[in-house]
Structure 1
Amino acid sequence: MRWMDAMARVSVAEFASAGGLVEVGGVEYDSRRVKRGDVFVAMRGGVADGNRYIESAIAQGAAAIVTDSREAYDVLRLMHPEVGAALVERGRRALAEVSAAILGHPERKLALSAVTGTNGKTTTALLLEQMLRSVGRQCVLIGTIETHVGDEVRDSEHTTPEASDTLRVFADGVKVGATEAVMEMSSHALEQERVWGLPVDVAIFTNLTQDHLDYHGTMEAYLAAKLRLFEGEGAPAPRVAVVNADDAVGEAVIRIAGRSNVMTYGLAGGDYRAEDVVLAAGETRFLFKTPKGDLAIHSPLTGRVNVYNLLAASCAALARGLALEQVAAATEGLRQVPGRFQVVPSRNGVTVVVDYAHTDDALRNLITLARELVKEQRGRVITLFGCGGDRDRTKRPRMGRAAGEGSDLVVLTSDNPRSEEPAAILDEALVGVKETGTECIVEEDRATAIATAIRAAKAGDIVLIAGKGHEKVQILKGGTVPFDDVAVAAGVLAELER
């Protein structure tokens, strides 16, 4: 594609075509990945400035440069007149627009369902994808745990990638016949315009609780970032908005989603409701009440939080054209989501669960579910958790309080301390636990802490290992090391069962 054609729909402040003869074949924002003939989009980020790597990109063979720096643009015109150059105000918007043009606009060939919210994004996205696949539709999935391109499973580096990476996945999906895309849209991605220009057909809101205030600063700013999905990010507003009517900010989402067809769901309210809910370990049943009729739902998922996830995914599936009977049939065969109330097999009567809960609200919901499951056996709830470093510090005592209020024993340990000292993080979380008076064991080493929690349990008890879920590494001050909560727990159980 000619450089001028790739830039045809990009809003530019200044443009140099290098004689109009420059041909481009790809687009990159990481200079290390640039190939001969690529466009390199140099943009300023929160941590790094891509403009520092323009020379490196040219040395790698970049045929054209898009920059959001006037100084870098002027140097380019002077030092590299043979290279196409464009000065833009917003680098991420340009990255999205150039990528879409070069890749042949794959976003226009897929019906996109996008999920946002504090908790439940990953599960809801995976459930919706399974429902769509159950009626024979090929899908692309982009999320926290993994990325799917048809039947191919790839690792995910970020919940929501940069625009060029997303569009490449979409293009790969189109090649294998995909007609649907499902993705998680984080508040960071919406705020940073990483999803600019993606036409969303169905937008889903799960809930809003305190998280990411280290980045957004206030709950108002956090909510505003989420609401951008329902306004349209460089694209029209979604055709359908699926909104949790039971959430405290549900009404605010509905107001913003006024240009969309709104479907509300919930247990207490909403047009699509779950009634006569029956919960058990490995089983959830409810009557799905809808304006189009009622239907019995049976799922192998566990817990009240998964009722909400099932409602959200079911509404989105209906919005994408599935019939009620198809939704009900799909829920029967839904598979467990890794790291979301994942039960580690045990033969000693102790239930061990690994879950991603990493906010006080998610932790409270997890413990409430565990309490319901052990009620008949009069078992105890043992909760292991930690708090992430370099993240919102104000939620640490809140998480400690949530753990202490619902548990019989709390084991406080490291999560991903990152650049912080683990002991300092533990001290801040311990304040909340102490307010409840619940017994608490503090063990900085996570593997030792998991062993301590499981060894403290007796038959009929449930051990919750919270915070990291599906993650396979632990991020420490000295670097990243392999760590898998499920594998560590399974190892401890195997020793006890010998």
Structure 2
Amino acid sequence: MDVEDLWSPVSPRSLCEIVVHLRRAGHVVAEADVGDRPVITGLCQDSRRARPGDLYAALPGRRHHGAAFAAEAAGRGAVAMLSDRPSDELPTVVVDDPRAALGPLAAWAYGNPSTAFDLYGVTGTNGKTSTVYMLEAALVSAGLRTGALTGITVRGPGTVRPATRTTPEACELQQSFVEFVEERVDAVAMEVSSHGLAEHRIDGSRFDVAVFTNLARDHLDYHASLESYYAAKARLFARDLCERAAICIDDDYGRRLAGDVAVPHLTFSAHDPAADVYATAVRAGRWGSTFTLHHGGERVPVRLQLLGGHQVDNAVAALAALCLRGIDIPAAVAGIEALDAIPGRLERIDVGQPFLALVDYVHNTAGQHRLFPFLRSVTAGRIVVVLGATGERDPGKRAPLGFTAAQYAEVVVVTDESAFFDDAADLRNDVAAGARRAGAADVIVIPDRGEAIAVAVDLAGEGDTVLLAGRGHDPTLVDNGVSIAFDDRAALRNALSTRAY
């Protein structure tokens, strides 16, 4: 099923019932022409996906306001609108903050589906996707039917479709939960982004376990400050959203959160024995990692096929969350050990070349500082990295991305990522300037990403490592509103296959 086909009906409710519900929830509601009190049989946020009987949630966006598309929604059968402004096209329920109203409203309208299974939510700057993949693998190994929502895919026993964003919008999220209920899942693991939290997309859902991985500078194009970014993440751990929490104490923000939360929780760490769950004897190598997991008096050996010491952090996060739910840990470990790849997360591309070739989503300096030392430990020769900066993101990240890469790599090939509506040359220049400032690497600027990847492959020799950084699994490049299909993994495989060895 594609997301365009995702739709679930709700029990028919009059617009009056919805107004009463919103008021009982504490929202100030101004009824701007509710007409003949139409009956609502569905909810949608995208005017292009409206169906007969829908309540169309017209929300403010970065470039456009949903109310501008009310006529399209009405033309497709929507019978009313929820917004912060009235409409001439549809009977409208006006509230001050429609985003804050919509999440709980959608959960209520769909019968609170998140209460029908165990729901695990993972938030943090880095590691969310990998931790969710590990949770899913562990739960399956423990004998449970599972669902998963990541920035890569939405997957259940009868559902597989590409994700549209890290955390779905409120209506799509609740409709996905309804799917999982219909598929009789026992547990669902999902990524919870700071955007999803700040925009109340997950409000109205109930998380049995919330997981905090880490926090470092990111998304400051959206959040006013690191403090605002932390506050958005911390929302997941409030009593009205989660039952219990697993919190990593390997950075200051995690230690702060562990001291602030009011829900039952345990702490975890990749190295600190002061945590409730922690790892010792960590060894990260070319073919995976090993460590010993400690929880209470239990010691469990773990062998990961996934590359990178940072995956030990993510495995400990997943196992700590499962400890809170009483999942059989040896069975969970077996599932995580069987996981041999996560799309675009230090994914190995191998056609028989005499050097490592990897694709990774790393897109901030905190991730780089975790990743590059590992690459250095498994690289006898040079590190050749291809990277750029995504447009319409925090401009303050660009130069540091280049600088940090050039501190570790011998060759930095700066190229285009998705510029969106930013100037691609400006993005390249900022990254390249940071790389040159490090004064340690050869810096090459090649705008065309396919050409940049081919050059990096041509430069690599026996014992080297080629890393395509920043995009991971992303299947498209977007420039000035135009999208083209481009998968780093396919491009790297093609470049490797073209070269003779």
Does 2:13 align with 1:2? yes
Does 2:461 align with 1:450? no
Tell me the amino acid that sits aligned with residue 252 of structure 2.
A
How far apart are residue 68 of structure 1 and its match?
1.9
Equivalents in 2 of 1:190, 1:237: separation in Å?
A: 11
Match in the other structure for 1:493: 496
| Secondary structure of the structure 1 residue equivalent to 2:468 | strand
Q: 1:50 aligns with which of 24, 48, 66?
A: 66
How far apart are residue 46 of structure 1 and its match?
3.2
| C-alpha contact (below 8 Å) 1:142/1:183 kept by paired residues | yes
Equivalents in 2 of 1:321, 1:10: separation in Å?
A: 37
How far apart are residue 292 of structure 1 and its match?
4.1
1:446-470 CA deviation, whole Å, 9 max, x = no partner? 1111111111111111111101110
Does 2:384 align with 1:382? yes
1:371-425 CA deviation, whole Å, 9 max, x = no partner? 0112xxx321111111111211111111111111111111111111222222221
Equivalents in 2 of 1:228, 1:267: separation in Å?
A: 26
How far apart are residue 185 of structure 1 and its match?
0.9
| Secondary structure of the structure 1 residue equivalent to 2:421 | coil
Match in the other structure for 1:311: 316
Matches within 5 A, 1:340-379: 340-374=345-379, 378-379=380-381
Equivalents in 2 of 1:59, 1:406: separation in Å?
A: 56
Match in the other structure for 1:112: 119
| Secondary structure of the structure 1 residue equivalent to 2:22 | coil
Matches within 5 A, 1:281-360: 281-360=286-365
Does 2:118 align with 1:88? no
| C-alpha contact (below 8 Å) 2:322/2:329 kept by paired residues | no
- Normalized against structure 1, the TM-score is what? 0.92
Equivalents in 2 of 1:405, 1:368: separation in Å?
A: 10
Does 2:64 align with 1:36? no
Matches within 5 A, 1:433-444: 433-437=435-439, 438-444=441-447
Match in the other structure for 2:166: 159
| C-alpha contact (below 8 Å) 2:420/2:480 kept by paired residues | yes
Tell me the amino acid that sits aligned with residue 416 of structure 1.
S
- Normalized against structure 2, the TM-score is what? 0.92
1:199-244 CA deviation, whole Å, 9 max, x = no partner? 1111111111111111112111111111111125xxx252221111
Tell me the amino acid that sits aligned with residue 113 of structure 1.
Y
Match in the other structure for 1:250: 254
Deviation beyond 3 Å, 4+ runs, structure 1: 4-8, 14-20
Equivalents in 1 of 2:306, 2:75: separation in Å?
A: 52
| Secondary structure of the structure 1 residue equivalent to 2:378 | helix
Q: 1:473 aligns with which of 476, 484, 488?
A: 476
Which stretch shifts more, 278-287 or 337-346? 278-287
| Secondary structure of the structure 2 residue equivalent to 1:147 | strand
Which stretch shifts more, 9-18 or 170-179? 9-18
| Secondary structure of the structure 1 residue equivalent to 2:111 | coil
1:256-309 CA deviation, whole Å, 9 max, x = no partner? 323332333331352211101121123211111111411111111111100100
| Secondary structure of the structure 2 residue equivalent to 1:160 | coil
Q: 2:264 aligns with which of 242, 260, 263?
A: 260
Tell me the amino acid that sits aligned with residue 488 of structure 2.
D
| C-alpha contact (below 8 Å) 1:344/1:490 kept by paired residues | yes
| Secondary structure of the structure 1 residue equivalent to 2:39 | coil
Q: Cα distance 1:444–1:17, how it changes in 2: closer, same or farther (>3 A)?
A: closer
**Structure 2, unaligned runs of 5 or more:** 1-11
Equivalents in 2 of 1:420, 1:90: separation in Å?
A: 29
Aligned Cα root-mean-square deviation (Å): 1.9
Tell me the amino acid that sits aligned with residue 298 of structure 2.
G
Which stretch shifts more, 157-166 or 237-246? 237-246
Equivalents in 1 of 2:435, 2:53: separation in Å?
A: 57
Which stretch shifts more, 350-359 or 271-280? 271-280
Equivalents in 1 of 2:470, 2:210: separation in Å?
A: 27
Tell me the amino acid that sits aligned with residue 264 of structure 1.
F
Tell me the amino acid that sits aligned with residue 444 of structure 2.
I
| C-alpha contact (below 8 Å) 1:469/1:485 kept by paired residues | yes
| C-alpha contact (below 8 Å) 1:142/1:182 kept by paired residues | yes
Match in the other structure for 2:7: none
Tell me the amino acid that sits aligned with residue 386 of structure 1.
G
Match in the other structure for 1:277: 282
Which stretch shifts more, 37-46 or 409-418? 37-46
| Secondary structure of the structure 1 residue equivalent to 2:489 | helix
How far apart are residue 332 of structure 1 and its match?
2.2
Tell me the amino acid that sits aligned with residue 185 of structure 2.
A
Equivalents in 2 of 1:2, 1:258: separation in Å?
A: 36
Q: 2:417 aligns with which of 412, 415, 418?
A: 415
Match in the other structure for 2:236: 229
Equivalents in 2 of 1:177, 1:472: separation in Å?
A: 31
Equivalents in 2 of 1:294, 1:434: separation in Å?
A: 47
1:132-153 CA deviation, whole Å, 9 max, x = no partner? 1112212221111111122421
Does 2:208 align with 1:201? yes
Q: Cα distance 1:29–1:14, how it changes in 2: closer, same or farther (>3 A)?
A: same
Identical positions, percent: 30
Tell me the amino acid that sits aligned with residue 148 of structure 1.
R
1:46-72 CA deviation, whole Å, 9 max, x = no partner? 332122233433333223322322x44
Q: Cα distance 1:370–1:53, how it changes in 2: closer, same or farther (>3 A)?
A: same
Match in the other structure for 1:399: 401
| C-alpha contact (below 8 Å) 1:240/1:263 kept by paired residues | no
| Secondary structure of the structure 2 residue equivalent to 1:309 | helix
Q: Cα distance 1:495–1:90, how it changes in 2: closer, same or farther (>3 A)?
A: same
Q: Report the number of matched residues.
A: 482
